Amino acid sequence: MLAKDSKNLIFRRIPSVDSLLESPSIKSTLLTTPRGLVVRAIRQVLDTLRGEVESAQRANELPDLELNNVVDQIVRRLSILAQPRLRHVINATGVVVHTNLGRSPLSKGVIERFRSLAGCYTNLEYDLGTGKRGSRYAHVEEILVELTGAEGALVVNNNAAAVLIALDTIAKDREVIISRGQLVEIGGSFRIPEVMRKSGARMVEVGTTNKTTISDYESAIGPETALLLRVHASNFQIIGFTEEAGLEELVALGKKHGLPVMEDLGSGCLIDFSRYGLKKEPTVQDSVAKGADIITFSGDKMLGGPQCGIILGRKEIISAIKANQLNRALRVDKLTLVALQETLYTYRDKDRAIRLIPTLRMLCQPYRSLCRKADRLLGLIGRIEEDNFSVRLCDGFSRVGGGALPLEEIRSRLLCVSPNRLSAPSIAESLRSYNPPIITRLEKGQVLLDLRTIQERELKIVAEALTEISKRSKTP
């Protein structure tokens, strides 16, 4: 054990901020780096060192307090602090629409549009025909109507906002009928009952968790009813003894009582993925054709576009939502509209959309093409120090993510890293702290890298990272 007295002596050996600022290498760093940032790096390193001294039980657990070593640590810390916080990571998790990793990467076409439009003025809210003020939504409304058959469309910040403003417009201070089986919570604390409360609508729950019939809805209709709501149970499935009223039944009931029907599709898709080997998800066009009066869905889930919430529906309801004061607070910016417009144009040709929109391309990438990609990765990996870990290819499953097809396992090809001297968590940690960070999946004591979500141009980086980490002498 280290005595308290000797610890005090050791604390005094930790260099001061001022003395470090005077050291030659730090002084030269100050020529190119703002002083505030350098001081922050120094303070962070000193805090870490103090913590290490504090917790050290024995002499051999004490940190190296040599000035040169401390300076080295500060320089390393500075290079981390100087990096932008939001940066490129490699998604090797196999979850295609990964909310924590930013959901959908945008297509080359979108990036080209950013290049030509982001740095200049645009006709965002300017009508070039009349020379007067125009609507920022006009640019995407036309193409949304064309693709889906809806009467009108509007775009807001995200789907949570879409649901909120729709409820606020249609059902404020009145009742909304919803099945108990559809009171979902989506990640990031979007809960239907809470959103309902925020909108000022009163929720009337009908049926049970596993069974709700159309007559349950009908017997709840009263003079205060403003809306019948259906929510896609995005991220869970109830199996066994179940029943849910279909959209057609609800629409018929709504017609009979003069009530609008709203469907929150969550991850709306414009393509029937069953043609590409996935399970059938209801498409946006299906909901429009079946007569839903209002439909909401996300722009960055299975649509593969930018974050936004798309609202489709009857002309008069869309007009009322546009006129709602909340709309001003939830409005989307120019770059979102540029990205959405370009993504939607690509959908005019479905096969082209599958090829060009990264989310769709990943979801539909066939197993045999993933095998070829995996072989290319393995070929790029240099000699691995098998003392640390070994690598091989194996079969496994990817997931859609983003609260779509929660049980769907899509057959995939993976690189499996089996730990040896380095443990699986420490391999995953090393990959995560690589530049760029590589995010993997830990399963049954192994580190898995799913080829489906690794982009072609990232294969070389992943190979280099694995080769380099396998050569490290001990766990960092």
Ligand X SMILES: *Cc1c(COP(=O)(O)O)cnc(C)c1O
What does the binding site for ligand X look like in residue numbers (CB under 6 A)?
158-160, 163, 184, 186, 190, 231-232, 234, 264, 266-267, 298, 309, 403
- Retrieve residue 225's tokens: 């009813």
Minimum CB distance to ligand X, residue 90 (Å): 23
Q: Which residue lies nearer to ligand X by CB, 234 or 341?
A: 234
Q: How far is the CB of 157 from ligand X (least distance, A)?
A: 8
The helix/strand/coil state of 387 is: coil
Nearer to ligand X, 229 or 459 (CB): 229
Nearer to ligand X by Cβ, of 164 and 431: the residue is: 164
Q: Which residue is nearest to ligand X (CB)?
A: 266
Distance of closest approach, residue 297 Cβ to ligand X, in angstroms: 8
Q: Which residues of 118-150 are buried (b: 16+ CB within 10 A; e: fewer)?
A: eeeeeeeeeeeeeeeebebbebbbebbeebbeb
* Least Cβ distance, residue 181 to ligand X (angstroms): 13
* Between 152 and 309, CB nearer to ligand X: 309
Least distance from ligand X to the Cβ atom of residue 132, Å? 33
Which ranges of 386-456 does DSSP label H, i.e. alpha helix? 424-432
Give dist(CA 121, CA 188) in Å, integer: 34
Least CB distance to ligand X at residue 212 (A): 16
Looking at the Cβ atoms of 29 and 296, the one nearer to ligand X is 296
Measured from the CB of residue 299, what is the shortest distance to ligand X in angstroms? 7
List Cβ<8 Å contacts ≥24 apart for 242-246: 242/181, 242/210, 242/211, 243/210, 243/211, 243/212, 243/213, 244/179, 244/181, 244/182, 244/211, 244/212, 245/179, 245/212, 245/213, 245/214, 245/216, 245/217
Strands (E), 131-243: 132-133, 152-156, 175-179, 185-186, 190-191, 202-206, 225-231
Task: Compare residues 307 and 365 and give the one whose CB is closer to ligand X.
Answer: 307
- Identify which of residues 150 and 231 has a Cβ nearer to ligand X in the complex: 231
Contacts of 143 (CB under 8 A, 6+ apart): 341, 344, 345
Q: What are phi and psi of 206, to 5 degrees?
A: -130, 160
In sequence order, what are the beta bridge partners of 439?
91
Residue 386, Cβ neighbours under 10 Å: how many?
Answer: 12
C-alpha distances in Å from residue 455, one per residue of 68, 95, 136, 435, 458 = 40, 13, 34, 16, 5
Residue 447 CA to residue 377 CA, distance in Å, equals 16
To ligand X, the closest distance from the beta carbon of 332 in angstroms equals: 12
Q: How near is the Cβ of 158 to ligand X at its closest, in Å?
A: 3
| Residue closer to ligand X, measured from CB, 186 or 449 | 186
Q: Using the minimum distance from each CB to ligand X, give the nearer residue, 227 or 427.
A: 227
Please name the helix (run of DSSP H) or strand (run of DSSP E) that holds residue 106, with its range, or none.
Answer: none
